[in-house]
Amino acid sequence: MAPAARGGYHALPSGARGWERRWGRRVLPVVVSVGVLAVAPQVYDNVAFLTTLAVYMVLAEGINVIYGYTGYLPFGYVGFFGAGAYGASLSVVDWHFPGLVALLFGGLVAGVFGLVLAPLLRLSGAYFALATLAASQVMYYVVSNEPWTYGESGMSLPAVLSSDQTYVVAVALAGLAALVVVFVRDSHFGLSLRAVRADPVSAAMAGIDVVRARTSAWLISAVLAGLAGGVWAIMTAAFYAQTPFDLTVSVYAIVFALFGGVRTVLGPVLGALALYSLYQYIGVSNPQYFELVYGLLIFALILFLPGGLFSLVGGPGDRPAWWERFVGRVLRRRSSSQARRLGGA
């Protein structure tokens, strides 16, 4: 036992080292994402604002999946958000679904919509971005102008969840979105996505199903947006197509993700927290100043922090952040001391 103890960290079982990596790289980002929203009501007592903030965190994480790991930038991402809001609203009004079931149905509707639009992944660059934008506008036209879709009159929803319950669901959804990004980042699926983004031809020659990988990321992103749309519809207790299909939703989701840093778990969370809080404190009362500050921040980001705001405290791209490395070192020292005690015994 003594020689193994002198080996320190390298003498530990691979399972112990794996547990340390999982704690630093996988568990903490999810805990931080949920913890920020959990303590937020103690700082700012506005449940509607905090719920909307959580919704934008989920949307930004959805952009993180499809753009950060595949390189596809969907300008029409709002279509999934609107589809989820419409599906949840319709299920409550027509079929009297309970709140959580309606939320899941909204995610299902967005997923089906994403599956229908999956052939757009054959495009790339600006063509893909504009195609998704056109698709979202077509859906907006159908929902807002046809009588059978309640488009002319809209829908008023009964209160299926209280405001506090809706916020708890939004916080849980934000944690789920962070967990999904952790899975994408650390799984073989995420490795396949990075290979496809770097060189699709080489990835296909290596045996990766390029179409399947891209479609899977696309559907994950669509379902996240649909779930966020369902939360928004339940929170507002109404559905009028102009709001959930507003292109501003896509713009905010993309900017929040890029501002915080894509291909990181906490980057989109940080971007949404910083910019949407800025909007709440400046943009509501002084929209003209908010647009100026907003533009200057984005300009400074492009020039000085192309990796996003999270690059100040975290590792760029897929590198572990400094706090993840710190936690790993602490856990390794603790495990090493335990191994020495066992070796001495």
For residue range 218-272, list pLDDT tens digits in order.
Answer: 999 999 999 999 999 999 999 999 999 999 999 999 999 999 999 999 999 999 9
As a whole number of angstroms, the distance between CA 183 and CA 265 comes to: 10
From the list 219, 137, 211, the residue with the least C-alpha distance to 180 is 219
Return the residue matching tokens 């794996």: 18
What pLDDT is recorded for position 14? 47
What pLDDT is recorded for position 22? 60
Q: What is the mean pLDDT of the chain?
A: 86
What pLDDT is recorded for position 295? 84
Segment 32-49 mean pLDDT: 93
- From the number of C-beta atoms within 10 Å of its C-beta (0-12, 13-18, 19+), residue 67 rates as buried
What pLDDT is recorded for position 312? 79
* pLDDT value at 13 more than 50: no
As a whole number of angstroms, the distance between CA 314 and CA 264 comes to: 8
* pLDDT value at 303 more than 90: no
* pLDDT value at 321 more than 80: no
Instruction: Name the amino acid, one letter, at 104.
Output: L
Return the residue matching tokens 């647009």: 291
DSSP-assigned beta bridge partners for residue 156: 238
For residue range 52-107, list pLDDT tens digits in order.
Answer: 999 999 999 999 999 999 999 999 999 999 999 999 999 999 999 999 999 999 99
Among residues of the chain, what percentage have pLDDT more than 90? Answer: 67
DSSP-assigned beta bridge partners for residue 238: 156
- Range with the poorest average pLDDT among 66-75, 125-134, 165-174, 298-307: 298-307
More confident residue, 307 or 217: 217
* pLDDT value at 287 more than 90: no
What pLDDT is recorded for position 328? 61
Segment 274-293 mean pLDDT: 82
Residue ranges of the domains in the chain? 44-250
For residue range 134-160, list pLDDT tens digits in order.
Answer: 999 999 999 988 777 887 688 999 999
What secondary structure letter does DSSP report for 68?
Answer: I
Helix segments in the chain, DSSP class H: 2-6, 14-22, 28-43, 47-63, 78-95, 99-116, 125-145, 163-186, 188-198, 200-205, 210-236, 247-260, 267-278, 287-304, 322-344
* pLDDT value at 207 more than 50: yes
From the list 319, 269, 277, the residue with the least C-alpha distance to 297 is 277
- CB atoms under 10 Å from CB of 37, counted, come to 23
